[in-house]
Every structure is written in C-alpha cells, then in structure tokens.
Structure 1
Amino acid sequence: MALRADLLPALAAFESAARHQNFTHAAEELHLTASAVSHHVRKLEARLGVALFQRHARGVSLTAEGRQLADAAGSALADVDGVVRALRAGRDEHARVRITTLHSLAYTWLIPRMRALEAAHPDIRLSLDTEVALTRFDDGGPDLGIRHGPGHWPGLTAHLLMDETLFPVASPGFPGLDRVVSAADIARLPLIADHARQGWLDWFRAADVHGVRIEERHTFSDTTDALNAAAFGHGAALARERIAAPYLDAGRLVRLPGPALQARWSYYVVYPAHRRLRPAARRFVDWLLAQPAD
C-alpha cells in the first residue's frame, strides 16, 4: 500500500507522539492541540487497520505495531531533516561573503554600517578575518579584502574605497588640554603611536614644526588600541579620520590644533584578478563602493 501524501501530517504527529509517549507534549512541539494530534493518530490507525497506541489512564504507550512504525518513521524523518538542513546550509553558504581586512577598519567603519547592509541585502552573510598577516586568496579563502595601501598589488584588482587624512586627537579630559593652542604645543604632550607608515614626524613636518624632540611614550600595533589609549587619557594620538570618527562623534576624543595631513595610502577593495566574484560578493562590493566615506 503506497503512502498517500495526505497521511504525511498524520505520520509526523504520530512520530512526535511516539517519541514523547504523550499527546500533549507532541502538540506543544508541533504547535497543535492535543486533540488535533489524537485525530491525526486515529486517522493513521484507521488507514493502517492496526492500533498504534494503547490508551490508559496514565497516558499512552506504543503497541508492537506502533513501535515498528515509530522506528521507521523516526529514521525517515531524521533523514529528511538532515537533507533540509544541508540544503539550507548550502543556501546560506551561497550567500556568504568572506572578507579579510584590518581590525581597526572593521571595528570602527564596517561594523557600524552593517545594519544598512542587512537592510539592502538581508540574505548576505559576512565572515570577517582581521588577522594581521595578509591572507592569500586561494580557493576556499576569502572572496575579497579591504586593504590600506598604495592601490597596486600583483594579481589583484583594486577599487578605491576612500582616502584618508591624519590629525592629532586627545581625550577632552586630558590635563592641561586648554593650554594646547598650537601644533608646537602638542610636541610637549605624551605621544601615542601605531605601526602606520606615516607618523608623528610626518605630521609635525606638515605642521611646520621643526627642531622639537619627538618622544613616543606608547606604541600599539593596532590603530584602535592607540585611539583607546588616547581616549583613556594616556596622551595624544595621531588619528586616521575614518577610524577616529566614532570616537569623535561620541566625544571620547577631540581634535587638537594643526593641519590634517593627506595620507599617502588609501583604502581599497581588492580581489583576485583571475577569478570572477561570486554574485553575493559582487553585490557586497557594489554596496561597499556606494557607501559614503563620512
């Protein structure tokens, strides 16, 4: 006897009731009423011509025939559930975009904009890698990267995302900040540095401050750590405009006197020149390049 499609809901209700040995618990799992589960089971029993449960005052228990069907139904539904999960995972993986970028840029620029991404492309899933070492774009590796550099990397296509400027910042509560009225005054503050290619020496030269001794008290490998140190009052940091924006907006940092130095390097979206971007990655790149820098 072939299993009719209209018996599948009844089979699912029976399998749940068999696992729980309780119609009420099965109803809660399936978002049905206990009477609806009982109706499905009776329909299945009528169709098969056998009793699947023994009803008694304390509840129900499986008959021998019920146990046989429960084993087969549980195995079949588990197989179907496994396939459904795999198909869903495959769909999600198809929409996943793997990105390698700087921790500082992810933390202060990309993550605050992810709500806009979710509104524009709710299916896209991101995987962010912010390890310091540059990631190889091998098969199975990232789809694209956001790099800070000159804009030319062998074997990579590069699109300009945004330029960058450098200027000094400090905590608004830093002692004696009211006496810092010129770029030369900043040289007397404790200076905080990161590992960027341009630093305090470049900025003081652009500010036309010469003959001062530049002493960097603290140095950090990551720009956000340097900005945090400045926000906690440990000295003045040379901030990148894009990275410092959330700190300035929140009032944790204030800009100090002096010019904004145009950075030699900019931010670029990069990906292998020999490999066509997957559709989800292409949509993400288009969304990135349409974002206002500010």
Structure 2
Amino acid sequence: MTLRADLLPALAVFESAARHQNFTHAAEELHLTSSAVSHHVRKLESRLGVSLFQRHARGVSLTAEGRLLADAAGSALADMDGVVHKLRTQGDEQARIRVTTLHSLSYTWLIPRLPDFSQRHPELRVHLDTEIALTRFDDGGPDLGIRYGPGHWPGLSARLLMDDDLFPVASPALPGFGEIHAPVDLLRHRLIADHSRQGWMDWFRATDTHGAPVDEHHTFSDTSDALNAAAHGLGVALARRRIAEPYLASGRLVRLPGPLLKARWSYYVVYPAHRRLRPAASRFVDWLLAQGQA
C-alpha cells in the first residue's frame, strides 16, 4: 500500500495518541476533541487493516502492530522536526547582521538611526556588540564593525563613514556658564577629558591660548560618559561632534566659544578583506554609508 497524503493527518494524531497512550491527552495536545482523535485512529486502522490500539475500560494500549507503527511515526516526525529547525535556524542566520562598534557611537549616533533601517528592512535583525576589546573577525564572529581610527587595519577592508570635529561643551546649568566668552575663560572651570588621542592640550593650542596650565580634572574612558558628566554640570567637556549631536539637540549641552578642531581620525566601516559580505550585511553597510553622508 502506498502512503497517501490524506493519511498524514491521521498519522500525526496517531503518533500523539501512541506517545500518551491516552486519547484525551492527545486531544489536549493537538487542540482536538477526544472523538476526533478516535475518528483519525479508526480511519488509519481501517486503511491499514490492523488494530493499532486495544480498547478497554481503563483506556487504550498499543498492539504489536501499533507499537511498530508508533516507533516509525515517532522517528519520522523527529527527523522532520530536526530538519525544519535547521532550515529555520539557517534562515534566521541569513537575516542576522552582527555588528561591533564603540559604545559611545552606538549610544548617541547609531541606535537613534536604527529605526530607519528596521523600517526599510523589517526582515533583517541587527545584533550589536559594544565590547571595548579589539574584535577578531573570525568565522562565526561579527560581519562588520565601525571603528574610529586612521583608516587602515591589517586584513580589513575599510570604507570611510564620516569625519569628525572637536569643540568644548557644557551644561547651561554649569555655575559661571554665562561668564564664558572666550577660550581662556574655560580654564576657570573643571575640564573633563576622555581617552581620545586628541585632548584639551590640542584644542587650546589651536586657540593660541598660551601660558595658562591646562588641568584635566576628570577623565572617563568612554566619550559618552564624559559628555553625560558634563550634562550633569560636572565641568566642561571636549566633545566630538558625532557623539555630541543628541546632547546638543536636546539642549542638555551647549557649544562654547572657540574653534572647531578637525579630528585626526575618522569613523570607518570595516569587514574582513578575505571574504565577501553576506547580502544582509552588505545592505547594512550601504545604509550606514548613506547615513554617514547625510
């Protein structure tokens, strides 16, 4: 006898009934009535010409023929479930984009823009990693990264995302804020620094302010932490424009008098030079570059 498609629902119901050895429990699992389960089992028995269950007052139990079919049906369904899970996992992985970047850039620049990407590509999923350690782009690792630096890293392709500028900022609530009229006035306040290659000494040198000591009173490893501290009135911070945008837009920070200092480094999108980007990651790179140009 050839297995016909119309028997597949009955086989699925039988497998559940055989596993539970109970029609009522099978009905609960399959969201059917007990009579519907019994109907499917009797249909299967009729087509096969054998009894699959022994019916008795306390319930049902498998016959030898029923045990043989139950073992085969259970194994087949388990194999199918494994294949379906594998296919679903592969589909999810193809839709996943693994990105590594700096916490400061992620928090203030990338995350506010992600809803736009999600609206354009609702089927894609972004996995964002902001570990400060230098990421290795091994198999199974990130698809791409956003780095702040000189633009060349061994083994990586680097595409310019955007440049940056530095300038001083402070909270309008900072005591003495209204008395800041020139760069030299900043020296009367506590200066907040981060671990960037360029700092207050570079900026004051660009203003031709000489003679007065430059004391970096508070230092933070993360640029967004330095700006947050300034927004709470701790002192005056030297901001990178790309990181400071949301603080300036909300009015929590205000740019202070003095020139823009062009940053020596820029932001780059990087990915392994030895392998081609997956389609999902390539779409994310195109979107990133458009955001950087905007």
Indicate the TM-score class for this superposition, using the shorter chain for normalisation. Answer: 0.7 to 0.9
**What secondary structure sits across from 2:169 in the alignment?**
strand
Give 1:251 deviation, angstroms: 3.8
Match of 1:129 in 2: 129
Match of 1:90 in 2: 90
Give 1:23 deviation, angstroms: 5.5
Give 1:286 deviation, angstroms: 1.4
Correspondence 1:63 to 2:62: yes
Alpha-carbon separation, structure 2, partners of 1:35 and 1:265: 73
**What secondary structure sits across from 1:147 in the alignment?**
strand
Alpha-carbon separation, structure 2, partners of 1:185 and 1:128: 41
**What secondary structure sits across from 1:107 in the alignment?**
helix
Give 1:161 deviation, angstroms: 0.7
Match of 1:190 in 2: 190
Give 1:22 deviation, angstroms: 6.0
Match of 2:169 in 1: 169
Bigger mean CA offset, 204-213 vs 187-196:
204-213
**What secondary structure sits across from 1:291 in the alignment?**
helix
Alpha-carbon separation, structure 2, partners of 1:246 and 1:33: 58
Match of 2:53 in 1: 52
Alpha-carbon separation, structure 1, partners of 2:250 and 2:27: 51
Alpha-carbon separation, structure 2, partners of 1:247 and 1:25: 59
Instruction: Give the letter for the 1:50 counterpart.
Output: S
How many residue pairs match? The answer is: 292
Alignment root-mean-square deviation, CA: 2.9
Give 1:119 deviation, angstroms: 2.3
Correspondence 1:257 to 2:276: no
Match of 1:211 in 2: 211
Instruction: Give the letter for the 1:222 counterpart.
Output: D
Give 1:31 deviation, angstroms: 5.3
Residues 52 and 63 in structure 2, CA contact (< 8 A), matched pair in contact too: no
- Output the TM-score relative to the length of structure 1: 0.84
Correspondence 1:153 to 2:164: no
Residues 242 and 293 in structure 1, CA contact (< 8 A), matched pair in contact too: no
Residues 54 and 63 in structure 1, CA contact (< 8 A), matched pair in contact too: no
Alpha-carbon separation, structure 1, partners of 2:175 and 2:217: 16
**What secondary structure sits across from 2:8 in the alignment?**
helix
From the superposition, tell whether residues 268 and 4 of structure 1 become closer, same or farther in structure 2 (CA, over 3 Å).
same
Alpha-carbon separation, structure 1, partners of 2:123 and 2:56: 48
1:1-294 map, 5 Å: 1-19=1-19, 26=26, 29-30=29-30, 36-48=36-48, 49-52=50-53, 54=55, 60-64=59-63, 66=66, 68-292=68-292
Instruction: Give the letter for the 2:217 counterpart.
Output: R
Instruction: Give the letter for the 1:52 counterpart.
Output: F
**What secondary structure sits across from 1:93 in the alignment?**
helix
Q: What residue ranges of structure 1 are gaps of 5+ in the alignment?
A: none
Alpha-carbon separation, structure 2, partners of 1:241 and 1:72: 66
Residues 161 and 292 in structure 2, CA contact (< 8 A), matched pair in contact too: no
Identity among equivalent pairs (%) = 72
Bigger mean CA offset, 148-157 vs 81-90:
148-157
Q: What residue ranges of structure 2 are gaps of 5+ in the alignment?
A: none
From the superposition, tell whether residues 53 and 90 of structure 1 become closer, same or farther in structure 2 (CA, over 3 Å).
farther
Alpha-carbon separation, structure 2, partners of 1:186 and 1:53: 92
From the superposition, tell whether residues 3 and 224 of structure 1 become closer, same or farther in structure 2 (CA, over 3 Å).
same
Instruction: Give the letter for the 2:242 counterpart.
Output: R
From the superposition, tell whether residues 209 and 32 of structure 1 become closer, same or farther in structure 2 (CA, over 3 Å).
farther
List per-residue Cα deviations over 1:37-66 (Å, max 9, x = no partner). Answer: 45433432332342537476x8x5443355
Give 1:32 deviation, angstroms: 5.2
Instruction: Give the letter for the 1:216 counterpart.
Output: E
Residues 201 and 214 in structure 1, CA contact (< 8 A), matched pair in contact too: yes
Residues 124 and 280 in structure 2, CA contact (< 8 A), matched pair in contact too: yes
Bigger mean CA offset, 20-29 vs 127-136:
20-29
Residues 101 and 129 in structure 1, CA contact (< 8 A), matched pair in contact too: yes
